[in-house]
Amino acid sequence: MADAAALRRALAERGVSWPADCEWHERLGSTSDRVKALAREGAPEWTVVLADVQTHGRGREGRLWSSPAGGLYVSVLMRPRFPQLGLLSLAAGVAVAEAAAEHGVAVELKWPNDVQVEGRKLAGILAESASGPSGVEWVCVGIGVNVAVPLAALPVELRPRVACLAESGSTPPVATVAAAVLAWLRVWYDALGSSPASVVAAWRRRAVAWWGETVEIRTGEETLRGRLADVDDEGALLVTTADGRSRRVISGEVVQARRAG
């Protein structure tokens, strides 16, 4: 694998001419670390880095992202000129959902950016940014999709919680899935600039149906309990606590209260 030419061909078949470099490594610590280094060197928007295997794949909240062969590991450099950065994660989730649907897998999105199949994780998204005096300079969106990861290659405790695209019955080439994810990412990124409300609506349509249910949201040291009300037009979660107050949450891990523990 590690075939950047195959990726460009798969993009071209979709009518997409990618506007920047695509690096595809056989083995890398983390595609996001590579993109962040390129960003600091001034690489242009839409620079893409992929790897067949990551040795230090990173997930949200300092967790590791197991990255054996058979997965898609891709990071994309963006230099957004619009203010709705909180919506980028949601847009990336919608893009992955569209790509999964092309391969016969219907997913649900769990705020802020888990991509799930019946509660098991198909993909994860990690958005990291850097700001300068004039605001956000770049955002690195890192996406991991379990295309055909052998469960035996994952830590035992993760295996019951992982879903793969290959469960649909066919195993698409990773380059084909990468092209689908990247093409949809551009579509939904453009939508952020022209119609941010359409991104929120698209995300809400695919969200796990926990609206009105009591959830716990773990944010660092704090755990907030309340009824899940909605997601607002900046991508923040709105929760109504027992005293009737509305709280706005911009990061954290959502768990159904009956499952929390």
Cα–Cα distance measured from residue 13 to residue 140, given in angstroms and rounded to the nearest whole number: 26
CB 43 to ligand BTN: min, Å = 16
Site for ligand BTN in 5-34 (CB under 6 A): 30-32
237-240: strand order across its sheet: 246-249, 237-240, 222-231, 214-219, 253-256
Burial class of residue 13 (count of CB atoms within 10 Å of its CB; 0-12, 13-18, 19+)? exposed
Nearer to ligand BTN, 59 or 119 (CB): 59
Residue nearest to ligand BTN according to CB distances in the complex: 124
Stretch in the footprint of ligand BTN (CB under 6 A) among 59-67, 183-191, 194-202, 244-252: 59-67
CB 63 to ligand BTN: min, Å = 6
CB 77 to ligand BTN: min, Å = 12
Site for ligand BTN in 150-209 (CB under 6 A): none
Cα–Cα distance measured from residue 150 to residue 68, given in angstroms and rounded to the nearest whole number: 8
Which tokens go with 112?
């802020």
Site for ligand BTN in 112-151 (CB under 6 A): 114, 124-126, 142-144
Helix (H) or strand (E) holding 185: helix 174-194
Nearer to ligand BTN, 33 or 216 (CB): 33
Cross-strand pairs, 121: 116, 162
Tell me, by CB under 6 A, how many residues bind ligand BTN. 20
Are 58 and 34 in contact by the 8 Å Cβ rule? The answer is no
Site for ligand BTN in 61-100 (CB under 6 A): 63, 65, 73-75
Burial class of residue 157 (count of CB atoms within 10 Å of its CB; 0-12, 13-18, 19+)? exposed
Stretch in the footprint of ligand BTN (CB under 6 A) among 58-66, 127-135, 164-172, 236-244: 58-66
CB 15 to ligand BTN: min, Å = 25
Residue from 36, 60, 110, 206 touching ligand BTN (CB under 6 A): that is 60
Are 201 and 231 in contact by the 8 Å Cβ rule? The answer is no
Nearer to ligand BTN, 20 or 197 (CB): 20
Residue from 47, 54, 146, 176 touching ligand BTN (CB under 6 A): that is 54
Contacts of residue 130, Cβ cutoff 8 Å, sequence gap at least 6? 36, 39, 40, 136, 137, 138
Please report whether residue 235 would count as binding ligand BTN according to CB under 6 A. no
Nearer to ligand BTN, 92 or 226 (CB): 92
DSSP 9-22: HHHHHTT----S-E
Q: For residue 220, how many other CB atoms are within 10 A of its CB? A: 8
Residues in contact with ligand BTN by the rule CB under 6 A: 30-32, 54, 57-60, 63, 65, 73-75, 114, 124-126, 142-144
